Amino acid sequence: MARLLPARYPSSMPSLGLAVSGGGDSMALTWIAHRWARDRGVTLRLATVDHGLRPEAAKEAAEVAAFASRLGLSHDTLHWQGWDGRGNLQDAARRARRRLLSAWAAEQELGAVLIAHTADDQAETFLLRLARGSGVDGLSAMREARQEGGLLWLRPLLGVRREVLRDLLRTQGLGWAEDPSNADPRYDRVRMRQALPALGALGLTVERLSDTAARLAEARDALAVQAALAARLLLRVEAGDVLVDLAGLAAEPVEIRARLLSAALCWVSSAEYRPRRAALDRLLADLARGAGGTLHGCLVAERHGVARIGREPRAVLGLRRAAPGVWDHRWRVFGPDCDELEIGALGSAGLLQRPRWRESGLPRRTLLAQPALWQGQRLIAVPVLEPGGAWRAELVGGEDAFHSSLIPH
């Protein structure tokens, strides 16, 4: 804890959150964090996510609440009811945990949230991603501190083995819950966990795998800096689209090309994860021969040596929300108070109501995905076509947000 958390905790973050499942790792972190927070006058708040997937989960959450009460700590149980039985259960559960904890942290005005990932988790993740053919970024170590969604996530136990934490609990006479899914070989992570002893006998120990992941993280960060420098020279933002100098892009190493294109696609679409490398390589090849395509919710077109990466109009078709507000996760639209207006894509129906749209100089495909103000089927305002009007639309964070996205935080 002392390596990550300062001896004098910032007064701007007087409260700290802790995600506690009831398992050995998070229960040990609770004990450690409680002592750290108590000595520094920091308020510690606990939360348990009940995914509703096992009948025992409610009982385990209640046991965590009782443990928190014995320590004099507050505790909340967060419920997930979003599983529809399709897709990757563990991935869906992980995403749900992050969303629920983020909302809880914002409501509690927490400065950061601690999560109990260990050295074993680091090694298992490395093997999982190696099996999937991941590159430098995928194989890199999890960060001890990561800013995401406006919240600081801290992993103070990444250098600690899982069994060390259980020894701590045994010494303190504390119990923990065992999730049976952690021993279910149907899950890839469990198979990697079960393979670790055999790999360790070959020299591929948890410590060695974690060290390798850490070195790859250093390479990842160096590549990210190079990509950010190249982006300042080769990429610019116009009306929410990213414009790419293709000749300059072609002169960059393949890895930098992929990073730049991936960053542009993720920023335009507000996607959490990068597209697969094979899809990126195909798009780069298409652009090199003067073609375009669609990928990751974006429309990519080439003209006069410049690639324009914009929002795919179909991806925002029918997407409406009350005005003013944030639309498509990246446009902040504001203007006069009016309860009857909605923000939606301009679309072809909107262009028909603005016949002089060509005077903007923007491509039709760009305009189709622009935010507009609607009253039912009647178009009220199009900020990009009426810059001096009562309604305005700004990219959240502006162009700097795009360039910042190239550097992992």
Is 23 marked within a binding site? yes
pLDDT per residue over 314-373, tens digit each? Answer: 999 999 999 999 999 999 999 987 778 999 999 999 999 999 999 999 999 999 999 999
CA 206 to chain centre: 26
pLDDT digits (tens, 9 = 90+) for 65-99: 999 999 999 999 999 876 666 667 777 888 889 99
Q: Do 332 and 303 fall within a single domain?
A: no
Q: What are phi and psi of 288, to 5 degrees?
A: -65, -25
Q: Is 196 exposed, middle or buried (0-12, 13-18, 19+ CB in 10 A)?
A: middle
52 lies in the same domain as 189: yes
Query: Please, what sign has the CA dihedral across residues 293, 295, 297, 298?
Result: negative
- Residues 305, 326, single domain; the answer is no
Pick from 312, 330, 356: which residue ends a domain?
312
Q: Do 385 and 254 sit in the same domain of this protein?
A: no
Rounded to the nearest angstrom, the gap between the alpha carbon of residue 109 and the centroid of all alpha carbons in its chain is 20
Instruction: Consult the annotation and say whether 337 binds a ligand.
Output: no
The verdict on 301 and 336 lying in the same domain is no
Question: Which residue range is the domain that position 307 belongs to?
Answer: 239-312
Q: Give me the chain's average pLDDT, please.
A: 92
Question: What confidence tier does 3 reach under pLDDT thresholds 50, 70, 90?
Answer: low
Domain-located, residue 388: yes
Dihedral pair phi/psi, residue 258, rounded to 5°:
-65, -40
Q: How many Å apart are CA 65 and CA 225, to the nearest integer?
A: 44
Separation between Cα atoms, residue 154 and residue 134, nearest integer Å: 24
- The answer to whether residues 207 and 261 belong to one domain is no
* Closest to 208 in 3D by CA, of 132, 127, 116: 127
Q: Indicate if 195 and 51 belong to the same structural domain.
A: yes
- Compute the radius of gyration of the chain from its Cα atoms: 24
Distance CA 41, CA 44 (A): 9
Residue 158 lies in a domain: yes
327, 279: one domain = no
Is residue 153 domain-shared with residue 67, that is, in the same domain? Answer: yes
What's 60's domain CATH number?
A: 3.40.50.620
The last residue of one of the domains, among 194, 212, 230, is: 212
**Residue 203 annotated as part of some ligand binding site:** no
- Given a cut of 70, is residue 4 above it in pLDDT? no
| 183 and 253 both lie in a single domain | no
Span 23-52, pLDDT tens digits: 999 999 999 999 999 988 899 999 999 987
- 400 annotated to a ligand binding site: no
How much is the pLDDT for 2?
Answer: 46
278 and 325 in a single domain? The answer is no
Helices assigned H by DSSP within 289-381: 313-316, 347-352, 364-368
- pTM, rounded to two decimals: 0.85
Rounded to whole angstroms, how far apart are CA atoms 28 and 156? 12
Query: CA-CA distance, 261 to 234, in Å (whole number)?
Result: 11
Predicted confidence band of residue 296 (pLDDT cuts 50, 70, 90): very high
Residue 409 has pLDDT above 70, yes or no: no
Question: Given this model, what pLDDT does residue 93 score?
Answer: 81
Position 179 in a domain: yes
Q: Which of 289, 312, 335 is the last residue of a domain?
A: 312
Give a yes or no: residue 253 inside a domain. Answer: yes
Residue 70: Cβ within 10 Å count: 7
Q: What confidence score (pLDDT) does residue 127 get?
A: 97
CA distance 304 to 319: 32
Q: What pLDDT band is residue 270 in, cutting at 50, 70 and 90?
A: very high
User: Diameter of the chain by CA atoms?
Assistant: 76
Is 170 among the domain residues? Answer: yes
- Residue-wise pLDDT for 170-214, tens only, equals 999 999 998 888 888 988 999 999 999 999 999 999 999 999 999
Domain count for the chain, please give it.
3
In a domain, 405, yes or no: no
- Domain co-membership, 332 together with 299: no
248 is in an annotated binding site: no
